[in-house]
Amino acid sequence: MNQLWSACETWVLGSVYDKIIGACKQMFGRSDKCLDANLARLDKVDPIVLGVRSEFKEFVLGEALSQFRMINRGRTPLEKAICLRKSINCIIEGIQTVISSCSGTEASRVCPNTFQRRDYAHGCEISKFAGFLPFYRHPCLQQIM
Protein backbone atom coordinates (compact mmCIF):
# COMPACT_ATOMS: atom_id res chain seq x y z
CA MET A 1 0.00 0.00 0.00
CA ASN A 2 2.88 2.35 0.77
CA GLN A 3 4.26 1.81 -2.71
CA LEU A 4 0.94 2.70 -4.29
CA TRP A 5 0.70 5.83 -2.14
CA SER A 6 4.27 6.81 -3.06
CA ALA A 7 3.64 6.22 -6.75
CA CYS A 8 0.47 8.34 -6.67
CA GLU A 9 2.20 11.12 -4.78
CA THR A 10 5.10 11.10 -7.22
CA TRP A 11 2.78 11.18 -10.25
CA VAL A 12 0.60 14.00 -8.88
CA LEU A 13 3.54 16.14 -7.81
CA GLY A 14 5.30 15.51 -11.11
CA SER A 15 2.14 16.55 -12.97
CA VAL A 16 1.64 19.83 -11.13
CA TYR A 17 5.35 20.64 -10.87
CA ASP A 18 5.37 23.32 -13.59
CA LYS A 19 2.42 25.21 -12.12
CA ILE A 20 3.69 25.08 -8.55
CA ILE A 21 7.28 25.97 -9.40
CA GLY A 22 6.13 28.73 -11.76
CA ALA A 23 4.07 30.31 -8.99
CA CYS A 24 6.91 29.91 -6.48
CA LYS A 25 9.35 31.56 -8.89
CA GLN A 26 7.05 34.56 -9.17
CA MET A 27 6.53 34.78 -5.41
CA PHE A 28 10.15 34.31 -4.37
CA GLY A 29 12.03 35.57 -7.43
CA ARG A 30 13.57 38.59 -5.72
CA SER A 31 14.81 36.68 -2.68
CA ASP A 32 16.13 33.91 -4.96
CA LYS A 33 18.23 36.45 -6.87
CA CYS A 34 19.67 37.72 -3.60
CA LEU A 35 20.45 34.18 -2.48
CA ASP A 36 22.04 33.36 -5.85
CA ALA A 37 24.27 36.43 -5.59
CA ASN A 38 25.38 35.42 -2.08
CA LEU A 39 26.06 31.85 -3.17
CA ALA A 40 28.05 33.06 -6.17
CA ARG A 41 30.25 35.12 -3.84
CA LEU A 42 30.70 32.16 -1.48
CA ASP A 43 31.57 29.88 -4.38
CA LYS A 44 34.63 32.04 -5.05
CA VAL A 45 35.94 31.72 -1.48
CA ASP A 46 39.03 29.54 -1.27
CA PRO A 47 38.51 26.74 1.30
CA ILE A 48 42.10 27.24 2.52
CA VAL A 49 41.04 30.69 3.78
CA LEU A 50 38.43 28.93 5.90
CA GLY A 51 41.04 26.61 7.39
CA VAL A 52 40.42 23.57 5.19
CA ARG A 53 43.66 21.77 4.39
CA SER A 54 44.48 21.65 0.70
CA GLU A 55 44.28 17.84 0.44
CA PHE A 56 40.67 17.94 1.67
CA LYS A 57 39.59 20.84 -0.54
CA GLU A 58 38.25 19.01 -3.59
CA PHE A 59 38.32 15.48 -2.29
CA VAL A 60 35.33 15.61 0.01
CA LEU A 61 33.16 18.21 -1.68
CA GLY A 62 33.82 17.96 -5.42
CA GLU A 63 31.47 15.13 -6.34
CA ALA A 64 29.00 15.99 -3.57
CA LEU A 65 28.60 19.54 -4.87
CA SER A 66 28.10 18.38 -8.44
CA GLN A 67 25.42 15.93 -7.26
CA PHE A 68 23.72 18.61 -5.16
CA ARG A 69 23.68 21.09 -8.05
CA MET A 70 21.52 18.63 -10.01
CA ILE A 71 18.67 18.89 -7.48
CA ASN A 72 16.75 21.33 -9.69
CA ARG A 73 16.51 18.67 -12.38
CA GLY A 74 14.23 16.61 -10.14
CA ARG A 75 10.54 17.20 -10.60
CA THR A 76 9.22 15.19 -7.66
CA PRO A 77 10.19 15.01 -3.99
CA LEU A 78 11.45 11.47 -4.58
CA GLU A 79 13.81 12.58 -7.36
CA LYS A 80 15.08 15.42 -5.17
CA ALA A 81 15.53 13.03 -2.24
CA ILE A 82 17.57 10.69 -4.43
CA CYS A 83 19.79 13.60 -5.42
CA LEU A 84 20.28 14.56 -1.76
CA ARG A 85 21.01 10.94 -0.89
CA LYS A 86 23.72 10.80 -3.55
CA SER A 87 25.24 14.04 -2.23
CA ILE A 88 25.28 12.77 1.34
CA ASN A 89 26.77 9.44 0.27
CA CYS A 90 29.56 11.27 -1.57
CA ILE A 91 30.33 13.31 1.55
CA ILE A 92 30.31 10.24 3.77
CA GLU A 93 32.54 8.26 1.42
CA GLY A 94 34.90 11.22 1.11
CA ILE A 95 35.17 11.60 4.88
CA GLN A 96 35.82 7.89 5.33
CA THR A 97 38.45 7.86 2.60
CA VAL A 98 40.25 10.88 4.05
CA ILE A 99 40.26 9.32 7.51
CA SER A 100 41.55 6.04 6.10
CA SER A 101 44.26 7.71 4.02
CA CYS A 102 45.46 9.83 6.94
CA SER A 103 45.60 6.99 9.43
CA GLY A 104 46.16 3.91 7.27
CA THR A 105 43.33 2.10 9.01
CA GLU A 106 39.56 1.87 8.67
CA ALA A 107 37.60 5.01 9.46
CA SER A 108 35.33 3.19 11.93
CA ARG A 109 38.33 2.17 14.04
CA VAL A 110 39.86 5.64 14.12
CA CYS A 111 36.66 7.59 14.71
CA PRO A 112 33.85 5.29 15.83
CA ASN A 113 31.39 8.21 15.92
CA THR A 114 31.83 9.17 12.27
CA PHE A 115 29.30 8.32 9.60
CA GLN A 116 29.15 4.70 8.61
CA ARG A 117 27.46 3.35 5.54
CA ARG A 118 26.33 -0.24 5.48
CA ASP A 119 25.31 -1.74 2.17
CA TYR A 120 22.69 -4.45 1.96
CA ALA A 121 21.24 -6.38 -0.95
CA HIS A 122 18.36 -3.96 -1.50
CA GLY A 123 19.41 -0.90 0.41
CA CYS A 124 21.75 0.88 2.72
CA GLU A 125 21.62 2.28 6.19
CA ILE A 126 23.46 5.41 7.14
CA SER A 127 23.78 5.18 10.88
CA LYS A 128 24.08 8.21 13.15
CA PHE A 129 22.80 10.43 10.32
CA ALA A 130 19.70 8.87 8.81
CA GLY A 131 17.55 9.80 11.80
CA PHE A 132 17.89 13.46 10.90
CA LEU A 133 16.75 12.94 7.33
CA PRO A 134 13.11 11.87 7.07
CA PHE A 135 13.33 11.10 3.36
CA TYR A 136 15.64 8.18 4.14
CA ARG A 137 12.67 6.47 5.72
CA HIS A 138 10.41 6.98 2.70
CA PRO A 139 9.32 3.44 1.67
CA CYS A 140 9.84 4.00 -2.03
CA LEU A 141 13.33 5.42 -1.46
CA GLN A 142 14.27 2.51 0.78
CA GLN A 143 13.69 0.11 -2.11
CA ILE A 144 16.05 1.87 -4.50
CA MET A 145 18.74 2.43 -1.92
Please give the pLDDT value at position 18.
81
The C-alpha atoms of residue 89 and residue 97 are separated, in whole angstroms, by 12
Neighbours of 67 (CB within 10 A): 19
> Is the separation of the CB atoms in 68 and 93 below 8 Å?
no
How many folded domains does the chain comprise? Answer: 1
The C-alpha atoms of residue 47 and residue 89 are separated, in whole angstroms, by 21
- Closest CA relative to residue 85, chosen from 47, 123, 114, 122: 123
| pLDDT tens for each residue of 8-46 | 888 888 888 888 888 888 898 888 888 888 878 877 777
| pLDDT tens for each residue of 59-72 | 667 788 888 888 88
Sign of CA dihedral 78, 84, 88, 90: positive
Range of the domain at 102: 2-144
